[in-house]
Structure 1
Amino acid sequence: MKICIFGAGAIGGYMGVKLAQAGADVSLVARGPHLAAMQEKGLTLIEEGGETTNVAVTASDNPADLGPQDYVIVTLKAHSVPGVVPHMQPLIGPDTTIVSGVNGVPWWYFHKLDGPYEGTRLESVDPGNAQWDGFGPDRVLGCVVYPAAEVSEPGTIKHIEGNRFSLGEPDGSKSDRALALSKALSSAGLKAPVRPRIRDEIWVKLWGNLSFNPISALTHATLDVLCTDPGTRAVARGMMVEAQTIAEALGVKFPIDVDRRIDGGAAVGAHRTSMWQDLDAGRPMEIEALVGAVSELGTLTGHPTPTVDTVLALIRLRAKMAGVA
C-alpha cells in the first residue's frame, strides 16, 4: 500500500512519522525550509509526553518524483487545494483514493447524499469545480482530523493532543478501501474508525470552527474568553444555531447541544485558534470553507443566516485590510 501525504505540515507530518515508524510505504509532499530540513535530516516528532522520534522520510515538492499512489491524504488548508489539483495528477492512478483531511464543509459534501441536493457543487469551497472535475468525487474518502500539532521548527512536529482520524465514505458504506486505510492507520498507533455518518462529525467540528475561529481573529480573544464573555458567547451561539438548522435540514444529527459545545470550547483554555494564528502570520485564513460555505448552504436550503453573514462580512474585510484576502 502506497500512501502519500500532500501538504505535510503539522498534521500531515504527525501522520507521516507515525506511518513511517510502523513501516508503511509513505511519502510526503511539502515545500520550503520544512521540506529541505526533512530531506537533510529526516522528520522529527515530539510527542505529548516529550518523547522525541526521528525518522527518515521520502519527501519532495514534485509529485512526479513519487508516482501513482493507493491513497493520497490531503492535509492542506482548504483554500490551498483547488490551485494544486493539476500539480497532484502524477499521484493519481486508476484506483487512487483521495482522502480529504481538510477543515470545513468539504467539496464533495453532496456526492451520494440522498435527497434533492445530491450532486450539488459548492463554489465557496471548490471554485470552478476544480476538485470535483480534477479528482472526481468517486475517488473521495472523507476524513475528520482531530489531533492538534504544530511545526515548531522546520523538520520538527510538536504533537499537542489527539490521535483520531475518523474516516467515512460519502454513501456511508464500510468499503474495502476505507477498512484497509483504517487498518494501516491503526497499525501506526492512530485511531481511525470508519463512520457510517461522517457528515455528522464534520458538522460537530465545523460548529466550533465556524464561530470560534473568526470571532477570535476579530477580537484576539482566546477560547476561554470568547466562550465565557456574554457578548461573544451570544454571537457564537447565534452562528451555531443557524448552522444547526441548515445541517438538520440536510439530515445531520447532532449528538450534543449548542451550549455543551461552547462549554467544550471554553474548557480548552487560553487557545489561539488557527484563523487567528494565520492572521498574525500574514497567511490566508480558511474563511470560505469554515464560514462562507455555511452562508452558501443557508441560501441553498432557504434558511437565513444573519449572524453568520455579519461575521463573514467582518472577517472578509479584516483579511482584506491585512492583505491576506
Structure 2
Amino acid sequence: MLLTGANQKINPGRGNHIMRICIFGAGAVGSHLAVRLARAGHEVSCVMRGPHLEAVRANGLKLRVGEAEVCAKVRASGDPAQLGPQDVVISTLKATGLPGLVSGIAPLLGENTAIVFAQNGIPWWYNIGLPPRHPAPPDLAFLDPGARLRKAIAKERIVGGVVFSSNEVVEPGVVENLSPDRNRLLVGECDDRTSERISQLRAALNEAKLDSPPISDIREAIWSKLLTNMSLSVLCLLTGLTARGVRNDPAFTDVIPRLLNEANEIALHYIPEVKRVTRSGPAPNHKPSLLQDYELGRAMEIDVLVKAPSAFAHAAGLSTPSLDLIAALAIQKARDKGLYSG
C-alpha cells in the first residue's frame, strides 16, 4: 500500500513504513539523502543525469563519511517515466533547475504523492497556504515565471523542506558528506497543519539518520537558514573564501554583525518567533553552493537568496544598506559571468 492521505496508513516495513521515495535532481545533497534512505530500507529511485547517472547504474551510489564508505543500490534514470508513481518525491533541485521538475514530474505522481521542496532561499510556494498570522509577502511572481510551477503542482502536494547538510560529488557515483554531525531535513505542510504524512516522513528521515525533529512553522525554518545564506554565503561569493575563511577574516569582524543585524530585522518582521542569528558558533570550512555554482559556471540562485530577501525588506519599509550593497555586487558578478539574467 502506498503512502496516502492524512488519515490513511501504509504497511509497516523493516522498523518503519517502507515508502517509495524519488530524489529528483540527485546531485550532492540528493545523493546523500538517497543513500541513507535506501540503507534504511526504503525503495529509493533517483532522477539524475550525466556521468553521475552512468556510474550509479554501473556500481550503485556511494556515500563517504570520514573514512567510512557505504553503497546503496537505487533505481536511477534521467527519465522520470521509467521510475513510476512514488509515495514521496523529494526535489533537491536548486531553484534554477525547477523548470526540469515541471516537465518531468507527471510520471512520478500517484493520487496522493507528496512533493518535498528541499531548496535554499525563499521558495516559489511561499505565499501558498500562508497562515493568517504571517504578514503578506511581497510579489514573488519572479520566482515562478509564467506560474508554471503553480499550474503543475497542486497545493495539496506541497511539502516545505529545509536541508542542512554539506556534501560534494567527489567523483561520478560517489558523494562525500562534509558535515557528519549535522545532517538535517526539516519538513512541514505549506499551511503548517499537522498531518500523518509529515509524521511518517519525519519518522523515515530520522530512521535514516537524517535528523527531522517536529517543527510548528516551516517558514520560520526557511528564514533561519536564509539568515546565514543571505549574508555569509554572499560574502563567500564575493571573496572566493569558504564560510570559515570569511568568518575568521579580521576584515569582516564588524561587517558580518551588521549584515546579520539587517537580515534578522527582515526575518523578525515576517516571522516574529524566528531565532535571531549571531556571529557565534563555528562555520564549516566549505564553499557554499552559491560560490560553487559561480566557480563551476552554473546558473546561480540569485533570485531566491538575494533578490527575494531584498523584496521582503523593501515591502516592509526596512533600511538594509549593507545587504543592499552586497546584493548589488553579487548580482553584477553573476551577470558579468553570464550566470544570471534577472
Structure 2, unpaired ranges of 5+: 1-18
| Residue 231 of structure 1, CA deviation | 4.8
1:201 paired residue among 210, 218, 221: 221
Q: Which residue is 1:97 aligned to?
A: 114
Task: Identify the range of structure 1 (33-42 vs 180-189) with the bigger mean alpha-carbon deviation.
Answer: 180-189
Q: Which residue is 2:12 aligned to?
A: none
Q: Which residue is 2:171 aligned to?
A: 153
| Residue 112 of structure 1, CA deviation | 2.3
- Sequence identity of aligned pairs in percent? 39
Alignment of 1:252-271 (within 5 A): 252-255=272-275, 257-258=276-277, 260=278, 262-264=279-281, 267-268=282-283, 270-271=285-286
Q: Which residue is 2:97 aligned to?
A: 80
1:302 aligns to what SS in structure 2? coil
1:158-179, Cα deviation, whole Å (9 max, x unpaired): 1121222111222222211101
AA at the equivalent of 1:62: D
1:242-282, Cα deviation, whole Å (9 max, x unpaired): 33222222234232x44x3x233xx2254322222221111
Alignment of 1:211-230 (within 5 A): 211-229=231-249
Structure 2 Cα separation of the partners of residues 132 and 233 of structure 1: 42
Q: Which residue is 2:82 aligned to?
A: 65
Structure 2 Cα separation of the partners of residues 279 and 233 of structure 1: 25
AA at the equivalent of 1:301: A
Q: Which residue is 1:247 aligned to?
A: 267
AA at the equivalent of 1:282: G
AA at the equivalent of 1:193: P
Q: Which residue is 1:305 aligned to?
A: 320
| Residue 83 of structure 1, CA deviation | 4.4
Structure 2 Cα separation of the partners of residues 211 and 197 of structure 1: 22
Structure 2 Cα separation of the partners of residues 224 and 192 of structure 1: 26
1:263 aligns to what SS in structure 2? coil
| Residue 64 of structure 1, CA deviation | 0.8
State the TM-score, normalized to the length of structure 2: 0.86
Q: Which residue is 2:157 aligned to?
A: 139
Structure 2 Cα separation of the partners of residues 279 and 122 of structure 1: 24
More helix by share: 1
Q: Which residue is 1:20 aligned to?
A: 38
Structure 2 Cα separation of the partners of residues 36 and 252 of structure 1: 47
Q: Which residue is 1:43 aligned to?
A: 61
2:178 aligns to what SS in structure 1? strand
Closer, same or farther: CA 89–304 of 1 in aligned 2, 3 Å:
farther
Alignment of 1:149-188 (within 5 A): 149-161=167-179, 162-188=182-208
Closer, same or farther: CA 25–301 of 1 in aligned 2, 3 Å:
same
1:152 aligns to what SS in structure 2? strand
2:143 aligns to what SS in structure 1? coil
| Residue 119 of structure 1, CA deviation | 8.5
Task: Identify the range of structure 1 (100-109 vs 193-202) with the bigger mean alpha-carbon deviation.
Answer: 193-202
| Residue 137 of structure 1, CA deviation | 2.7
| Residue 233 of structure 1, CA deviation | 4.5
Alignment of 1:271-286 (within 5 A): 271-286=286-301
Q: Which residue is 2:26 aligned to?
A: 8
Closer, same or farther: CA 92–304 of 1 in aligned 2, 3 Å:
farther
| Residue 239 of structure 1, CA deviation | 3.3
